[in-house]
Amino acid sequence: MLAYADGPAADLSFRRGWTHGIPALIVLPFVLTGAMLLLDRAVRRWRRAGLPSGVVPAEVLRLAVIAILTHPILDTLNVYGVRWLMPFRDRWFYGDTLFIVDPWLWLVLGTGVILSRPSRTAAERGGGTGPARVALGVASAYVAGMVLLAIESRKIARRELEEDGLPVERLMVAPQLVTPLVRQVVAIQGDAYEVATFRWLGRPHLDPRSRRIRPRPGRDDRALAAARATEVGKRFLGWARFPVVEVTAAPSGGSLLHLIDLRYAERADAGFGSVTVEVSNPPSAFQPSAAAAR
């Protein structure tokens, strides 16, 4: 089998893995502290200032612990997820709370950093640590509010989805860019995915015009099994949360298996969130048999 990637599949088996796992989080603060101390020594030697170091190792370690621990915690709050148990277990954890690059969070924290920069007129324009502390408080309140919205939106979405009588097996209610009150819904119900837009100010909250059904490949799906047998397909499917597969003919006479993760894409040409693998089997090899169709 031949395989090639249309999307960023080459490093999916590495992303947010062992560098975010608990063992790494124990070791990395010490590694970062050592690197900072070596950098401080190298800079002072390069400048030949002969001045004693102003770096306090305990303070550097404390900042390193805070920085390295908060990184995966914030990563867990988005739909991409984190593999906290690596390298022992390759399991993803998702918070579905914040957009992966939340502009409001960046705006609040960035403003706090800018206003806290030291200057001769800091007292006149409210500089010092005050703005940074206020920004951190506002950001924390925003994250807490988004957590509450995420919990409530999941309850409401599940209730509205199950009104048709089918239980929801798995559910994602993901925040969108800029608009915290609008969310993307992907749910597994039976042998299908349901995709919809959730609006806090709408009634019903699941926009009826946005609701659509996508077939869900089963564990014995031939196309999915063929894709998983390739290295790129295996990596992508180990990362994908709501995978679908589409089959088209390849110019070589084989098949193109388009893998799509409904978290990020709904088309094979979407780029991020999709990948294509080429296999030698013709498209007819992936059609369900008559017995399976019955």
Tell me the per-residue pLDDT of 44-72, one tens digit each, with 9 for 90 and over. 777 665 566 677 889 999 999 999 999 99
Is the pLDDT confidence value at 7 over 50? Answer: no
What pLDDT score does 40 carry? Answer: 85
CA atoms within 13 A on the CB side of 194: 26
Kindly list the domain boundaries of the chain, sorted by start residue. Answer: 17-79, 94-216, 222-293
Sequence-separated (6 or more) residues with CB below 8 Å from residue 248 = 255, 256, 258, 283
Q: Are 210 and 203 in contact (CB under 8 A)?
A: no
Q: pLDDT per residue over 203-258, tens digit each?
A: 999 999 999 999 998 877 899 999 999 988 988 998 999 999 999 999 988 899 99
Q: pLDDT per residue over 95-109, tens digit each?
A: 999 998 899 999 999
What pLDDT score does 269 carry? Answer: 80
Q: Which residue has the higher pLDDT, 132 or 52?
A: 132
State the SS3 of 247-264.
Answer: EEECCCCCEEEEEEECCC
Is the pLDDT confidence value at 125 over 70? Answer: no
What pLDDT score does 42 carry? Answer: 83
The residue type at 216: R
Q: What is the rounded average pLDDT of the residues 139-152?
A: 95
Q: Measure CA 155 to chain center.
A: 21
Percentage of the chain surpassing pLDDT 70? Answer: 87
Burial of 76 (0-12, 13-18, 19+ CB in 10 A): buried
Q: What is the rounded average pLDDT of the residues 263-274?
A: 85
Q: What is the rounded average pLDDT of the residues 282-292?
A: 66
Q: What is the rounded average pLDDT of the residues 78-83?
A: 92
